[in-house]
């Protein structure tokens, strides 16, 4: 590129980013008050004389100089509201004294270079972290190296252990890699696979490091949703259910798995959801028997059952909804028998999503019903037979993570968990081959309330006859045609 072209490209970038940073942005992200209250609650649960340290998620390289779309670490987002990398948060159980006064949290954010601002837009900076996120004590990352906090004086230094998969961006000395290295040096952290710099090798290993507590503390906070979180989570779930409804109307045997995925994701984006909460799963026939199938590249659905496990992420909160439908609009006899059995297991399980009930109970109930059903259909030889046809659990929390943290003991009000039984009979299974290639999962997102379970994903039909009825409805996609690019 010559200089003129570079200048034009820069101008274009700058113009684009001044627009993207404008006022017309979503207004329903969680407010800074929410994150502040969550930090206060965490503080109240931390051991005396402790400090908890949280790092932002790293950027991940996709190929060459292109990174994957950035996604914040959910714990970090929950506590800060920040959606930027290269940041670290310190929360102290008690107030600390500095020359400037008392503080109980410190937040270090990225100072973007002028070049980085041109490429990826302005960062939030100290000003933004104070005004938009509501932090008082905010600094730039490079100041973390000269932090006056003496970590050795705390009874506990709490953080999640490092996975050693953060790249060093050599153009800066305050990226996530550097922040972590600084922290490791300060706390004398050392494992056989993870050395502090050679110059600091004489430092004794710290004894106050606790890499297990974060998990339990954050699970306790995050497993029960606040009212603000429920608004966003319900929206994510309803959007995902609407995606299922539109595909029920549009599906036909000549459609590809890719197109099915595209229609779902189009519906999410139309509702303003920012991403998928996890890679979309659209598996026809035998592909539906692969639990986390992601290729979604079969060219035609034919007359198979199509398993679609899809969740929109809305303002950070993700749904997790699965429907399994016949590509031609009508369940075959075998498909219906398996489908209705999974439905029966799901219904019985959902009825047990009640306050103080054990979270493990619905799964056991579903398994019993499925085993009895498989036996009656002659697919297994006895109800106690160990078999491969239902190889997963049924109930996990959803929230900022599709598999949200929790203690997994008993149900409590305002928890949201999936109920997702399934039966998968891949080709070659040890049963009559009329069952081969049938994979069914039905997954709904259930809110626990004082008045019993509420199915948040109820907009998408679940009963086999209701699905067939929905599939007869007209679709806007029937008339949405594009030019054939392969025609000579
Ligand atoms: N979509 C992943 C799961 O159902 O757990
Ligand atoms: Mn799930
Ligand atoms: Mn799922």
CATH of the domain at 230: 3.90.230.10
Mean pLDDT of the chain: 93
- The answer to whether residues 461 and 470 touch, using CB atoms and an 8 Å cutoff, is yes
Indicate whether 186 and 239 sit together in one domain: no
pLDDT confidence band for 2 (50 / 70 / 90): low
CA-CA-CA-CA torsion sign (242, 454, 404, 54): positive
> Is 19's pLDDT higher than 60?
no
On the question of pLDDT at 204 being above 60, the answer is: no
Phi, psi of 420 (to 5 degrees): -140, 70
pLDDT of residue 119: 87
pLDDT digits (tens, 9 = 90+) for 278-299: 999 999 999 999 999 999 999 9
The rounded Å distance from CA 348 to ligand 1 centre is: 20
End-to-end C-alpha distance for the chain, whole angstroms:
35
CA 461 and chain centroid, separation: 24
pLDDT at 307 over 50: yes
Cα-trace Rg, the chain: 26
Examine the domain organization and report whether 108 and 212 are in the same domain: yes
Residue 216, pLDDT above cutoff 60:
yes
Cβ atoms of 147 and 52 closer than 8 Å: no
Q: pLDDT tens for residues 435-479?
A: 999 999 999 999 999 999 999 999 999 999 999 999 999 999 999
Q: Are both 250 and 200 inside the same structural domain?
A: no
228 & 92 share domain: no
Q: Is residue 408 part of a domain?
A: yes
C-alpha to C-alpha distance for 74 and 272, rounded to whole angstroms: 20
In this structure, the residue with its CA closest to atom 4 of ligand 1 is 320
**pLDDT exceeds cutoff 60 at 16:** no
Task: Clarify whether residues 343 and 298 are in a common domain.
Answer: yes
Question: Which of 219, 246, 268 represents a domain boundary (last residue)?
Answer: 219
Helices (H), 251-326: 257-270
Distance (Å) of CA 323 to CA 191, 240, 335, 393: 45, 11, 13, 17
Residues 159 and 213 in one domain: yes
Residue 203 binned pLDDT confidence (cut-offs 50, 70, 90): very low
Q: Tell me: pLDDT of 176 over 70.
A: yes
Both tokens of 281, joined, read 């799963």
Q: Is 443 a catalytic residue?
A: yes
CATH number at residue 170: 3.40.350.10
The pTM score is 0.93
Cα 486 to Cα 488: distance, rounded to the nearest angstrom: 6
Residue 443, ligand 1, Cβ within 6 A: yes
DSSP 172-196: -SSSHHHHHHHHHHHTT--BTTBPP
The domain in which residue 189 lies consists of: 3-219
User: Are 293 and 170 part of one and the same domain?
Assistant: no
Q: Is the pLDDT of residue 301 over 70?
A: yes
Q: How much distance in Å is there from the Cα of 320 to the middle of ligand 3?
A: 5
Dig out the tokens for 130 from the structure: 């104070």
- pLDDT, position 141: 96
The encoded tokens of residue 318 equal 């993700």
Q: Would residue 156 count as lying in a domain?
A: yes
Q: Is it the case that residue 12 has pLDDT exceeding 60?
A: no
Task: Work out the angle at residue 401's Cα, subtended by the Cα atoms of residues 81 and 356, and round it to the nearest 5 degrees.
Answer: 110
Q: Whose CA is closest to 129, among 117, 141, 138, 120?
A: 138
Q: Identify whether 478 is part of a domain.
A: no
Instruction: Decide if pLDDT at 346 tops 60.
Output: yes
Residue 197: pLDDT band by 50, 70, 90 thresholds? low
- For residue 454, being part of any structural domain is answered with yes
Q: Do 135 and 265 lie in a common domain? A: no
pLDDT of residue 120: 86
Query: Do 345 and 443 fall within a single domain?
Result: yes
223 CB near ligand 1 (under 6 Å): no
Residue 252 appears among annotated catalytic residues: no
Confidence (pLDDT) at 128: 96
Phi, psi of 367 (to 5 degrees): -65, -40
pLDDT, residue 188, reads: 87
Tokens standing for 346? 């799901």
**155 CA → ligand 2 middle, Å:** 38
**How many domains does one find in the chain?**
2
Say yes or no: CB of residue 420 within 6 Å of ligand 1.
Answer: yes
Instruction: Based on the fold, state whether residues 215 and 237 are members of the same structural domain.
Output: no
Report which of residues 194 and 327 the model is more confident about. 327
238 is catalytic: no
Task: Calculate what percentage of the chain has a pLDDT beyond 90.
Answer: 85
Q: Are 253 and 478 in contact (CB under 8 A)?
A: no
The preferred substitution site among 281, 342, 443, 446 for testing ligand 1, maximizing ligand atoms within 8 Å of CB, is: 443
Residue 482 lies in a domain: no
* Domain final position from 168, 202, 219: 219
Is residue 197 located within the same domain as residue 236?
Answer: no
Among 172, 198, 219, where does a domain finish?
219
What is the average per-residue pLDDT within 240-268? 98
Let me know if residue 483 belongs to a domain. no
Active site residue 73: no
Kindly state whether residues 215 and 239 are assigned to the same domain. no
């Amino acid at each position: 590129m010559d200089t003129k072209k570079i200048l034009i490209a820069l101008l274009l970038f700058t113009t684009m980013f001044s627009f993207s940073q404008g006022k017309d942005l979503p207004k329903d992200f969680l407010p800074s008050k929410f994150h502040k209250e969550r930090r206060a609650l965490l503080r109240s649960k931390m051991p005396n004389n402790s400090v908890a340290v949280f790092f932002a998620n790293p950027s991940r390289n996709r190929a060459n100089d292109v990174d994957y779309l950035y996604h914040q670490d959910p714990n970090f987002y929950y506590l800060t509201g920040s959606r930027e990398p290269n940041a670290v948060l310190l929360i102290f159980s008690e107030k600390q004294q500095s020359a400037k006064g008392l503080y109980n949290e410190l937040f270090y954010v990225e100072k973007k270079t002028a070049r980085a601002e041109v490429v990826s837009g302005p960062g939030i900076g100290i000003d933004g972290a104070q005004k938009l996120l509501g932090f008082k004590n905010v600094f730039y990352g490079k100041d973390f190296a000269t932090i006056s906090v003496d970590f050795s004086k705390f009874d506990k230094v709490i953080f999640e252990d490092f996975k050693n998969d953060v790249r060093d961006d050599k153009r800066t000395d305050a990226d996530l890699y550097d922040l972590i290295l600084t922290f490791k040096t300060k706390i004398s952290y050392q494992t056989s696979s993870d050395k502090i710099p050679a110059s600091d090798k004489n430092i004794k290993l710290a004894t106050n490091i606790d890499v297990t507590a974060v998990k339990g503390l954050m699970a306790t906070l995050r497993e029960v949703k606040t009212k603000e979180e429920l608004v966003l989570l319900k929206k994510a779930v309803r959007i995902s259910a609407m995606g299922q409804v539109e595909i029920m109307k549009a599906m036909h045997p000549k459609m590809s798995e890719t197109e099915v995925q595209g229609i779902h994701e189009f519906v999410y984006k139309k509702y303003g959801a920012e991403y998928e909460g996890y890679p979309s799963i659209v598996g026809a026939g035998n592909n539906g028997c692969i639990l986390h199938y992601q290729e979604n590249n079969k060219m035609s659905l034919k007359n198979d059952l199509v398993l679609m496990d899809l969740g929109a992420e809305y303002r950070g909160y993700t749904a997790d909804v699965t429907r399994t439908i016949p590509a031609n609009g009508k369940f075959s006899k075998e498909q219906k028998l398996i489908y209705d059995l999974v439905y029966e297991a799901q219904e019985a399980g959902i009825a047990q999503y009640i306050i103080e009930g054990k979270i493990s109970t619905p799964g056991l109930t579903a398994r019993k019903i499925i085993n009895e059903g498989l036996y009656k259909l002659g697919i297994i030889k006895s109800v106690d037979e160990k078999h491969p046809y239902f190889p997963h659990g049924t109930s996990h929390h959803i929230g900022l993570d599709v598999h949200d943290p929790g203690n997994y003991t008993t149900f409590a009000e305002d928890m949201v968990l999936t109920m997702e039984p399934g039966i998968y009979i891949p080709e070659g299974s040890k049963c009559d081959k009329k069952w081969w290639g049938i994979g069914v999962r039905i997954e709904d997102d259930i809110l626990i309330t004082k008045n019993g379970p509420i199915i948040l994903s109820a907009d998408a039909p679940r009963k086999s006859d209701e699905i067939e009825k929905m599939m007869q409805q007209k679709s806007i996609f029937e008339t949405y045609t594009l030019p054939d690019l392969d025609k000579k």
